[in-house]
Amino acid sequence: MSSGLDYTKLFAKDIPGPSSRGEPDPPYNFTYGHGSPDLLPIEGFVDAAADVFRKDGRSLAVYHANGGGLGYLPLREFLVEKLAKHRGIQVTADEILITSGSQQGIIAVMDAFLEPGDTVVTEMFSYAGTLGNLRRHGAEVVGVPLDEEGMRTDLLEKTLTDLQSRGIKPKFIYTIPTLHNPTGRVMGMERRREMLELSRRFGVPIFEDECYADLVFEKEYEHAIRSLDNSNYVLHVGSFSKSLAPGVRLGYVVAPWEVMSQILPFKMDIGTSTMGQMIVAEFLENNFDSHMEHLKSGLERKRDTLIAALKEHFGPEVQPSEPRGGMFVWVRFPEGIDTRKALEAAKAEGVAYNPGPDWAVYADDDERNGMNYVRLCYALLTESETWEGIERMSRAFREAGLT
């Protein structure tokens, strides 16, 4: 520690705890939403960068060139077509904001809507980044149980009715309806209609996170909730981090201008990197369909490999989900097992995983925090690494007395 000024007395109150310098990722890393290095279209990126820089590179010298504060216009125009074709969403380019990853969009929406003490309704288990940011905004988070189709709308109705009886109107319903994180479940169209009907009846907007929606393995699948909405009850966020790579750091928000105009001031970075937007727009314009077919085929093989390895090394008492796409398997261990107890033994084996409570609204309540679950990302590792990693993970669980 330096002997100069003591900054600890100058930091603002209630800031997050200090970060560690970090350690190298373990060799068998099943955490985070890492992409697949072996499925990354590097040569396509190289060609796209060369082409677009020759055509439009000098515009990098100007703030907000070719699109203004909403983002690079060709990328937003690509999204207009993609959202219409693949998600059933009809919007204009002026209703799309490009962000530095979808999480920036999620935080900007929170900044525009939330004050300490506001209530937000979400699935009982949800994306840890969203839950953490809701807590940092001082929100009261109310979790609704899931079944095989995601958030149960009968219990959502009960929750909204109960809150209304207590004079509480949530600011929004945050949901991940397509390849839900962490469970991988996909909400059926009828339930999407039911959720939208509840949104209208109670006057509570839906904040729909479709970060993983491009990764459903079937060619035809459920459209977004936003596709059913003709009266601006649904805000929508998506990402290129899963369809391309996390390092791309590009996402987007879809909202009507009266909402977008209030979100935009909270995007305080003077604009997302135009260079990245240019390369992605050029690449996707010519390669989206072929790239997604290649990516999903590779991810499907990796999913099947992980499930096979779990069944072989953990046996029938452990029940992995079989998601229709994405990059995660949600694994159920017998009741009473606390998967957190194997974390240190797994670390010694070079394995990292996320126990269920990492994704729980009620993380401290062992009756509702999914302590007997783990979420495993199957995208990063090769198939041979997955087999070895799950073998090591099973050994760690035995050492911890959990199997």
302 Cβ partners below 8 Å, 6+ apart? 36, 378, 379, 381, 383, 386
Instruction: Name the CA dihedral angle for 238, 191, 130, 328, rounded to a multiple of 10 degrees.
Output: -80
Q: What is the pLDDT of residue 2?
A: 53
Instruction: Please give the Cα distance from 38 to 33 (Å, whole number).
Output: 15
At residue 323, φ and ψ (nearest 5 deg) are: -65, 150
At residue 329, φ and ψ (nearest 5 deg) are: -115, 130
Residue 73's identity, in one-letter code, is: L
Instruction: Please give the Cα distance from 170 to 115 (Å, whole number).
Output: 11
Instruction: Please give the Cα distance from 41 to 375 (Å, whole number).
Output: 27
Instruction: Please give the Cα distance from 127 to 125 (Å, whole number).
Output: 7
Instruction: Please give the Cα distance from 258 to 267 (Å, whole number).
Output: 16
At residue 319, φ and ψ (nearest 5 deg) are: -115, 100
CB atoms within 10 A of CB 222: 22
Domains and CATH numbers, the chain: 24-40+290-399 (3.90.1150.10), 43-287 (3.40.640.10)
Instruction: Give the residue from 270, 324, 359, 367 showing the smallest Cα distance to 32.
Output: 359
The length of the chain in residues reads 403
In the 3-class helix/strand/coil scheme, how is the chain assigned residue by residue? CCCCCCHHHCCCCCCCCCCCCCCCCCCEECCCCCCCHHHCCHHHHHHHHHHHHHHHHHHHHCCCCCCHHHCCHHHHHHHHHHHHHHHCCCCCHHHEEEECCHHHHHHHHHHHHCCCCCEEEEECECCHHHHHHHHHCCCEEEEECEECCEECHHHHHHHHHHHHHCCCCCCEEEECCCCCCCCCCCCCHHHHHHHHHHHHHHCCCEEEECCCHHHECCCCCCCCHHHHCCCCCEEEEEECCCCCCHHHCCEEEECCHHHHHHHHHHCCCCCCCHHHHHHHHHHHHHHHHHHHHHHHHHHHHHHHHHHHHHHHHHCCCCEECCCCECCEEEEECCCCCCHHHHHHHHHHCCEECEEHHHHECCCCCCCCCCCCEEEEECCCCCHHHHHHHHHHHHHHHHHCCCC
**Per-residue confidence of the chain (403 residues) as pLDDT tens digits?**
456 889 988 999 878 888 887 788 899 999 999 999 999 999 999 999 999 999 998 888 888 778 889 999 999 999 999 999 999 999 999 999 999 999 999 999 999 999 999 999 999 999 999 999 999 999 999 999 999 999 999 999 999 999 999 999 999 999 999 999 999 999 999 999 999 999 999 999 999 999 999 999 999 999 999 999 988 999 999 999 999 999 999 999 999 999 999 999 999 888 888 999 999 999 999 899 999 999 999 999 999 999 999 999 999 999 999 999 999 999 999 999 999 999 999 999 999 999 999 999 999 999 999 999 999 999 999 999 999 999 999 999 999 998 8
195 Cβ partners below 8 Å, 6+ apart? 151, 153, 156, 173, 175, 177, 187, 206, 225
